[in-house]
Amino acid sequence: MATLTGKIAWVTGAGSGIGQAAAVALAKEGATVVLTGRRKAPLQATAATIKKAGGKAEVQAGDLMKAASVTKIAKAIDKKYGRCDILVNNAGLNILDRTFAKLSAKGIDEVIHGNLSSAFYCTTAVLPMMRKRKDGLLIHTSSVAGRVPGPLSGATYSAAKHGVVAMSHTLNMEECVNGIRSCAVLPGEVATPILDKRPVPVTKAERAKMAQSEDVGDLIRYIACLPAHIVINEVMINPTWNRGYVAALQRAKG
């Protein structure tokens, strides 16, 4: 029997990248996966991939930047399954105009709501279900930028991802007595569609050296399969060919 058989996992941002890879990996472990994102077609494609492999998945599309939409989806999960065992808080975005010289109020709102507010909305929506069962796991996709600020990701994205890390640690402080665990996953550069929003284009050769969505998806699967008495509070995953390190070495030689 697969480790997660009988579990209900809600994966956000499941239409592509890390969210899609995580959903596929969790389904292979036996979880029934609820897929959420703004665009229905990519979610349906993820669901089709899971079902073709013999897994169970359903699509619950919605805008996670809107609290009412999140509440509606969580209620649908509770009504149908009576539980949510795993939340993968993966939905996120970035913008092109991310430097302070170009940053706008609209861009700030988009990045903060897309990465931080949405994570809080989903978290608070599933906690009642988890508290009721005295069990539950929340896995949040933050970023290395959530620990190490830098100009590459932009101040707003970095601030939002720092917030996700703080949220996750605080969850463990408050909810450990309810059997609830929270893990912040901090990927470095991953070859996902979000790279298309980089001000400086990323080449195909550079993407090939990065971590891949499946690498992070498998890490999420591993965390989800840990026994209930164990929590990984925070974990960082990077490509071996770390462009930041390589650049530092080149500067040192210069």
pLDDT, residue 202, reads 85
Per-residue DSSP letter, 192: S
The proportion of the chain whose per-residue pLDDT surpasses 70, expressed as a percent, equals 100
Mean pLDDT in residue range 201-223: 94
d(CA 91, CA 12): 5
pLDDT tens string 178-192: 999 999 999 999 998
The 10 Å Cβ neighbour count of residue 166 is 14
pLDDT, residue 149, reads 92
pLDDT, residue 168, reads 98
Mean pLDDT of the chain: 96
The proportion of the chain whose per-residue pLDDT surpasses 90, expressed as a percent, equals 90
**Domains delineated in the chain:** 8-253 (3.40.50.720)
Active site residue 157: yes
Numbers of helices and strands, H then E, in the chain: 9, 7
pLDDT, residue 121, reads 98
pLDDT tens string 28-50: 999 999 999 999 999 999 999 99
pLDDT, residue 200, reads 81
Query: Does the structure show a pLDDT above 70 at 14?
Result: yes
Q: Give 15's pLDDT tier (boundaries 50, 70, 90).
A: very high
Strand partners, 236: 186
Query: Does the structure show a pLDDT above 90 at 197?
Result: no
d(CA 138, CA 183): 6
Among 184-188, 199-203, 215-219, the minimum mean pLDDT is found in 199-203
pLDDT tens string 120-130: 999 999 999 99
pLDDT tens string 149-165: 988 899 999 999 999 99
Quick one: three-class SS letters along 128-150?
HHHHHHCCEEEEEECCHHHCCCC
Q: Out of 81, 157, 222, 245, which one is annotated catalytic? A: 157
pLDDT, residue 201, reads 80
Q: Give 1's pLDDT tier (boundaries 50, 70, 90).
A: low
pLDDT, residue 100, reads 96
